[in-house]
């Protein structure tokens, strides 16, 4: 049992050592290396190796742009001609009339400029008078009182 734990822990330690010692070596294969100055990196273009020629990269980029798979900024927006909106089939006068009717019926609101629309609905309340509520509070049992206080407390 002890041998397995030692073996497992040694495997974990070995994996951690390989990761810690191997990662800086992999980073040095890049063409950007960390620098101890304000720049932060030193670029070595001679370390960069590409499998494609410049013409191949340009051709792939143009093909991707033509297929709509590549976009940068707003320089190529929109691609093609925009399609006109089909609309709802209603005239402007019909839409304005529907909007005015909806506003008068209180079905349309925007911002705070027309709040509240119509008359506010009165609160239905509990249906009890003030005297009935006071009598209930005075006649409640200690358990009911504790439950009510716990319910309305902040804790």
Domain for residue 97, yes or no?
A: no
State phi, psi for 138 to the nearest 5 degrees: -70, -30
Domain count, the chain: 1
The SS3 assignment for 43 reads strand
pLDDT band at 135 (very low <50, low <70, confident <90, very high): very high
CA distance 64 to 62: 5
Domain for residue 38, yes or no?
A: yes
> Terminal CA-to-CA distance of the chain, rounded, Å?
51
Mean pLDDT computed over every residue of the chain: 76
pTM given for the model: 0.23
- The range of the structural domain enclosing residue 46 comes to 34-67
Averaged pLDDT, 47-62 = 86
Domain for residue 146, yes or no?
A: no
Domain for residue 147, yes or no?
A: no
Domain for residue 124, yes or no?
A: no
For 32-42, the pLDDT digits (tens) are 777 788 777 88
């Amino acid at each position: 049992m002890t041998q397995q734990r030692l073996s497992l822990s040694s495997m974990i330690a070995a994996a951690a050592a390989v990761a810690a010692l191997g990662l800086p070596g992999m980073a040095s294969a890049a063409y950007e290396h960390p620098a101890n100055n304000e720049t932060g990196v030193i670029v070595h273009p001679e370390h960069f190796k590409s499998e494609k020629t410049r013409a191949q990269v340009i051709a792939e980029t143009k093909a991707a742009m033509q297929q709509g798979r590549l976009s940068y900024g707003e320089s190529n927006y929109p691609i093609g001609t925009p399609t006109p909106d089909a609309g709802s089939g209603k005239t402007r006068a019909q839409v304005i009339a529907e909007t005015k009717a909806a506003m008068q019926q209180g079905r349309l609101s925007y911002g705070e400029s027309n709040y509240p629309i119509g008359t506010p609905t009165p609160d239905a309340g509990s249906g009890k008078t003030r005297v009935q509520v006071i009598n209930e509070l005075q006649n409640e049992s200690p358990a009911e009182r504790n439950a009510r206080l716990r319910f309305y407390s902040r804790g």
